[in-house]
């Protein structure tokens, strides 16, 4: 585990019910060796007192631009910080950050900061989903600020959904990885299959499935963030990764995905098979549109290659293979069989019976099963958080050194 020893963190707290999390967050930062200074918006002080945060951070907390007729020096604070962390960042604060409306100490410091700025939004579901919020976040990202994704769960309104501020432990994890430059996949080559495959029936029809590619794309982003060179072999998805450095190999059919994966596998350290690959394809696809006739019709299907099983046969000792199992019945038994039969080191099981899990959703609920039989069940989380849990499990696998 890395540490934040000696890092100077400027924590900016804005006025959300999640402001209470600033207290455990400050304690964790201090415990990891960081030096913490805190600024607050005036509204934030109604949720948590400056005295509490001053005591925990062992530093004065500033919440007004002018105190006792003296001007508080936001420029100095902005320059002092190695990192500025806006947590919680309310919809108002995001909007002020995006437009540069410096009517409080948090925004004044933000505009003076020369360091990386992370923001952890916290708001209710409707505010989170509003296009104004998305627009502000896009602007903040385009200025180089970094988003700490929101969590999923019960919100202050009682609604269940996205918008919860990330948990302090997760924020610390992100800071570890980014600040400490702890890139635990540095030097590794990762190949990831993702998305659906389309199997041609004729020029206008195909056999496909509901996979969106979101889970595989989230894994590609996570591996890239942790220092890996990533090849994403992506079936026909509407989505693409945000990071341009991820090498995307777009394919359509199971056969194309098979060929692309095989051509990359020999150089991979880690192969993650997140695609929903068709097991069958029409044996005789037609080059012209099939016209309807009286009566029923049937299409003869033939097996496609099992990509994971094929690369599993030539897996070297230093390579790690990870698979997914999407099951509806006998979930654990089927997942364990796939783990064995396809020579995976880990299999990520998601049951279609869990609400919010599987295809299309932004969330997933998984159990990670290792070759040695250990099982770890995770709660429903956003797919990027699930990706982090999966990559944490991958980096903990001991493998032979690369030859």
The DSSP H or E segment spanning 167 is none
Candidates 80-88, 204-212, 285-293, 318-326: pick the segment binding ligand CTP (CB under 6 A). Answer: 318-326
Q: How many CB atoms lie within 10 A of CB 283?
A: 10
| 107 binds ligand CTP, rule: CB under 6 A | no
Phi, psi (deg, nearest 5) at residue 112: -90, -15
Using CB under 6 A, which of 211, 324, 339, 384 touches ligand CTP?
324
Q: Which residues contact 255 (CB under 8 A, 6 or more apart)?
A: 281, 304, 305
| 307 binds ligand CTP, rule: CB under 6 A | yes
Does residue 389 sit in helix, strand or coil? Answer: helix
Separation CA 57–CA 28 (nearest Å): 10
The catalytically annotated residue of 73, 209, 343, 392 is: 209
Separation CA 270–CA 318 (nearest Å): 9
Q: How many CB atoms lie within 10 A of CB 370?
A: 16
Binding mask 134-173 for ligand CTP (x = CB under 6 A): ----------------------------------------
Q: What is the nearest approach in angstroms of ligand CTP to the Cβ of residue 111?
A: 47
- Judged by beta carbon, residue 46 or residue 341, the one nearer ligand CTP is 341
Separation CA 10–CA 209 (nearest Å): 47
Using CB under 6 A, which of 338, 361, 381, 388 touches ligand CTP?
338
- Judged by beta carbon, residue 161 or residue 312, the one nearer ligand CTP is 312
> Which 8-state DSSP code applies to residue 108?
H
Q: Is 209 a catalytic residue?
A: yes
- Judged by beta carbon, residue 57 or residue 304, the one nearer ligand CTP is 304
Measure the CA dihedral 242/246/247/253, to 10°.
-60
Using CB under 6 A, which of 9, 189, 234, 325 touches ligand CTP?
325
- For ligand CTP, the binding residues (CB under 6 A) are 193, 254, 273, 275, 277, 279, 304, 306-308, 323-326, 338, 342
Instruction: Show which residues are catalytic.
Output: 209
């Amino acid at each position: 585990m890395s540490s934040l020893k000696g890092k100077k963190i400027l924590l900016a707290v804005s006025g959300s019910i999640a402001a209470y999390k600033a207290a455990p967050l400050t304690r964790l930062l201090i415990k990891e060796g960081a030096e913490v200074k805190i600024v607050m918006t005036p509204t934030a002080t109604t949720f948590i007192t400056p005295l509490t945060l001053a005591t925990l951070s062992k530093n004065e907390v500033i919440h007004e631009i002018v105190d006792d007729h003296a001007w508080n020096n936001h420029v100095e604070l902005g320059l002092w910080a190695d990192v500025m962390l806006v947590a919680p960042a309310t919809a108002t604060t995001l909007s002020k950050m995006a437009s540069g409306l410096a009517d409080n100490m948090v925004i004044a410091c933000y505009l003076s900061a020369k360091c990386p700025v992370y923001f952890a939004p916290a708001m209710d579901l409707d505010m989170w989903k509003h296009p104004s919020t998305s627009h502000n976040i896009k602007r903040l990202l385009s200025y180089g600020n970094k988003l700490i994704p929101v969590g999923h769960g019960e919100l202050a309104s009682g609604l269940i959904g996205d918008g919860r501020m990330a948990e302090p432990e997760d924020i610390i994890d992100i800071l570890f990885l980014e600040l400490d430059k702890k890139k635990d996949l540095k030097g590794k080559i990762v190949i990831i299959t993702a998305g659906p495959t389309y199997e041609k029936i004729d020029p206008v029809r195909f056999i496909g499935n509901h996979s969106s590619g979101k889970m595989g794309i989230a894994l590609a982003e996570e591996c890239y963030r942790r220092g890996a060179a990533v090849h994403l072999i992506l079936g026909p998805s509407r989505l693409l990764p945000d990071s341009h450095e991820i090498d995307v190999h777009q394919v359509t059919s199971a056969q194309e995905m098979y060929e692309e994966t095989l051509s990359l596998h020999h150089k991979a350290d880690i192969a993650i098979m997140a695609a929903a690959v068709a097991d069958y394809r029409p044996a005789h696809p037609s080059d012209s549109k099939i016209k309807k006739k009286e009566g029923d019709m049937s299409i003869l299907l033939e097996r496609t290659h099992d990509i994971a099983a094929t690369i599993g046969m030539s897996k070297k000792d230093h390579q790690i293979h990870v698979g997914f199992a999407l099951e509806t019945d006998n979930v654990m038994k089927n997942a364990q069989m796939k783990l064995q039969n396809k020579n995976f080191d880990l299999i990520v099981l998601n049951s279609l019976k869990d609400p919010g899990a599987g295809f299309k959703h932004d969330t997933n609920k998984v159990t990670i099963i290792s070759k040695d039989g250990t099982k770890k069940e995770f709660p429903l989380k956003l797919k990027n958080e699930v990706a982090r849990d999966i990559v944490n499990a991958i980096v903990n696998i001991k493998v032979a050194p690369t030859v």
